[in-house]
Structure formats: structure tokens, C-alpha cells
Amino acid sequence: MEFIQNNLDIIYFVIFCIFIGIEVIANVPAILHTPLMSGANAISGVIMVGAVIMMFQVPPTNYITLTVGGIAVFLGALNISGGFFVTGRMLKMFTTKK
């Protein structure tokens, strides 16, 4: 309970960012989806590299930080691979057939 009380501002900020992100993503027109997906893939790649670097800085006995870092790396890799898959499928829709 003390952890929540000490980090209440951060928890509120994360919840606020989630709502803002949902609103921004929900109002993106379909024509902008592919360029924004490419940008999201780049951002996820940077986040993934940052998570790996931070995991190397953490002592091996800090299991909570290593677990959160591992989850961040996994979700970043999942987002990047999914983004490339969806972007590739969308670009195939616009190619001309011979």
C-alpha cells in the first residue's frame, strides 16, 4: 500500500496518458494509418533499446525492475513485429496487379 501512496502521481499520469492515447488513435483517419504505424514502430524500437540498456544497469537481484524491463522488451518486440505485418498488408492493397 505504501508503494501506491508514494507513486500516486505517476499512476494518475499513466492513466491520463492512456485516455489521451485512446482519443488520439480513435480519431486518426484511415489514410494516415500507414505513416503513423511506421512512426510508432520507430518509437517502439527506441523504447525497446532503452529498456534493454536499463536492464543492463539494474543489479541482478532487483527482480521487479528486471521483470518490468523484460515485459517492456517483449511488448516492444510484439508491437514492432505486428506493426510491420499490418503495414506490409496495407501496402500490398495499394500495389497494382500485373
Determine, yes or no, domain membership for 34: yes
Determine, yes or no, domain membership for 97: no
First-to-last CA distance in the chain?
A: 64
Domain enclosing residue 66, as ranges: 1-92
Determine, yes or no, domain membership for 98: no
Burial class (CB in 10 A: 0-12, 13-18, 19+), 68: middle
Determine, yes or no, domain membership for 30: yes
**Residue 98 pLDDT exceeds 70:** no
What's the pTM?
A: 0.55
Q: How do residues 45-62 score in pLDDT, each as one tens digit?
A: 887 888 888 788 888 898
Q: How do residues 30-40 score in pLDDT, each as one tens digit?
A: 777 667 777 77
Number of domains in the chain: 1
Determine, yes or no, domain membership for 48: yes
**Residue 9 pLDDT exceeds 80:** yes
**Residue 88 pLDDT exceeds 80:** no
Report the pLDDT value the prediction gives residue 25, as an integer from 0 to 100.
75
